[in-house]
Amino acid sequence: MAIDLTLPPEVHTLTERTREFIREQVLPLEDAHAGDIAAAGGDTFRIELQRAARAAGLFAPHAPIEYGGHGLGMSDRAPVFEAAGYSLFGPTALNIAAPDEGNVHMLAHIANPEQKQRYLAPLARGEVRSAFAMTEPAPGAGSDPSALTTRAVRTDGGWRINGHKWFITGADGASLFIIMARTSGEPGQRGGATMFLAPADSPGIEVGRHLDTLDRSMIGGHCEVFFTDLLVPDSAVLGEVDRGFEYAQVRLGPARMTHVMRWLGAARRGHDVAVAHAAERRGFGARLGDLGMVQQMIADNEIDIAATRALLTRACWELDRGEPAADATSIAKTFAAEAIHRIIDRSMQMCGGLGVSGDLPLARLSREVRPFRIYDGPSEVHRWAIAKRAIARARRAGE
């Protein structure tokens, strides 16, 4: 059976228009502010970028059509998101940056009609931002979500939530929190989590300090958030009680792949910068690009880019078919996070002193992509999960 990797004409057109928009309108702004979105103006800057993307007809390619988006599935998102990710500010411009992109995806699949109207619609339109509050300080939920300690207790007509979260991306300035809280069981036990929707101005929500992290391109920082006797009604439950971990997979698998798409765009920019430099820079009596060691780095970058795209294609195909895609997404995420880091690192090496300077974008790209090997599941945790499933399959086959 033949495999057709041809993009639908409308997706090809959208990808090309996105590529042009990013290069002409967004890259100059990223370079002017060294990829620091707070320095560029934060939310005021975001609104201006998104206004330009909307005028270009590129806004919210992932969002449902009824909420103003293009309604693209996972496979069709890949080239568009990669084109947007060529600039660190590109995902924000198109409203496909984390965590809003993943939250739009999850709300579209799980929220009831009233919740969609109240929360999904303004989020998809870029009128507000959101945050997904799951990660906690030790001994709470981190790479092991079952360690969840934030607790929601039933009250008359609703729930009382208490807990401490941190590394909550976009929390500063968010209008909506999706809160993961334990509603049954004890920390360390599987299951027993519920997702709650809460406006950020609700009494009992306090956004604390920004954790000082490597990256500078994600709006709203990575913050501590405290929930102290936060009261929410029953209507705030997203989906059903005690199914929060199950629903999280609706978000996490696709969100890992959209991270891959965006960071692959950034890696491709780094590679393009390095190849252009190697094609012209002379040393040791030849152009750098004619030297064998430099050619090997260029070839290895090309291989990592192609392999990342291939693994991403497989994972998105499974997700579009409605499959869990646990192995495919873990494999693609782990390989991509490490390959993207290698691509940027080689690109810096090829550019020598310029590579670690502010004269080229490589140093800031390195700063931004390094955390990807940790968030959305560290490489080591994904490897453990992949191996565990492989062993389980072998045991079942031997029964």
Residues 219 and 329 reside in one and the same domain: no
Residues 311 and 228 reside in one and the same domain: no
Total length of the chain = 399
Tell me if 1 is assigned to some domain: no
Token couple for 290: 């004619």
**For residue 395, is pLDDT > 80?**
yes
**For residue 363, is pLDDT > 70?**
yes
C-alpha 28: how far from chain center:
23
pLDDT value at position 396? 94
Token couple for 211: 């954790």
Q: Across the strands, what pairs with 177?
A: 131, 198
Query: How far, in Å, CA of 333 to CA of 264, rounded?
Result: 11
Q: What is the mean pLDDT of residues 288-302?
A: 97
Domain count, the chain: 3
Give the CATH number for residue 174: 2.40.110.10
Residues 264 and 382 reside in one and the same domain: yes
Residues 236 and 250 reside in one and the same domain: no
Residues 66 and 181 reside in one and the same domain: no
Residues 359 and 393 reside in one and the same domain: yes
What pTM does this model have?
0.96
- Return the closest-CA partner of residue 259 out of 372, 122, 391: 372
**For residue 2, is pLDDT > 80?**
no
Give the CATH number for residue 21: 1.10.540.10
pLDDT value at position 340? 98
First to last CA, the chain: 33
Q: What is the mean pLDDT of residues 162-190?
A: 97
**For residue 1, is pLDDT > 80?**
no
**For residue 4, is pLDDT > 90?**
no
Query: How far, in Å, CA of 223 to CA of 168, rounded?
Result: 5
Tell me if 378 is assigned to some domain: yes
Residues 238 and 249 reside in one and the same domain: no
Structural contact between residues 349 and 297, judged by C-beta atoms closer than 8 angstroms: yes
pLDDT value at position 224? 98
* Distances, alpha carbon 238 to alpha carbons 177, 192, 199, in Å: 11, 14, 13
Tell me if 70 is assigned to some domain: yes
Band of the pLDDT at 70, cuts 50, 70, 90? Answer: very high
Q: Using the 8-state DSSP alphabet, how is residue 372 labeled?
A: G
Mean pLDDT of the chain: 97
**For residue 278, is pLDDT > 90?**
yes
Band of the pLDDT at 150, cuts 50, 70, 90? Answer: very high
Phi, psi of 96, rounded to the nearest 5 degrees: -120, 20
Query: How far, in Å, CA of 89 to CA of 30, rounded?
Result: 6
C-alpha 286: how far from chain center:
41
Query: How far, in Å, CA of 263 to CA of 1, rounded?
Result: 32
Tell me if 90 is assigned to some domain: yes
Q: Print the domain residue range for 61.
A: 9-97
Band of the pLDDT at 283, cuts 50, 70, 90? Answer: confident
Helix residue ranges per DSSP H, 281-378? 292-320, 326-350, 352-355, 362-369
Query: How far, in Å, CA of 102 to CA of 120, rounded?
Result: 11
User: Which of 227, 242, 257 finishes a domain?
Assistant: 242
User: Which of 242, 270, 295 finishes a domain?
Assistant: 242
Q: What is the pLDDT of residues 98-142, one digit of tens each?
A: 999 999 999 999 999 999 999 999 999 999 999 999 999 999 999
Band of the pLDDT at 320, cuts 50, 70, 90? Answer: very high
Q: What is the mean pLDDT of residues 304-312?
A: 98
Residues 253 and 367 reside in one and the same domain: yes
| Token pair 């693609």: residue | 332
Residues 220 and 259 reside in one and the same domain: no
Residues 15 and 69 reside in one and the same domain: yes
Structural contact between residues 136 and 143, judged by C-beta atoms closer than 8 angstroms: no
Give the CATH number for residue 284: 1.20.140.10
DSSP codes joined into one string, 23-75:
IIIIHHHHHHTTT-HHHHTHHHHHHHHHHHHHHTT-S-TTS-GGGTS----HH
Residues 238 and 258 reside in one and the same domain: no
Residues 282 and 294 reside in one and the same domain: yes
Contacts of 136 (CB under 8 A, 6+ apart): 142, 147, 148, 149, 150, 163, 164, 165, 166
Tell me if 146 is assigned to some domain: yes
Q: What is the pLDDT of residues 34-52, one digit of tens each?
A: 999 999 999 999 999 999 9
Q: What is the pLDDT of residues 225-235, one digit of tens each?
A: 999 999 999 99
Tell me if 103 is assigned to some domain: no
Structural contact between residues 162 and 133, judged by C-beta atoms closer than 8 angstroms: no
User: Which of 206, 226, 242 finishes a domain?
Assistant: 242
With a pLDDT cut of 70, the percent of the chain lying above it is 100
**Maximal C-alpha separation, the chain:** 80
Tell me if 122 is assigned to some domain: no
Query: How far, in Å, CA of 100 to CA of 244, rounded?
Result: 18
Tell me if 114 is assigned to some domain: no
Q: What is the pLDDT of residues 207-227, one digit of tens each?
A: 999 999 999 999 999 999 999
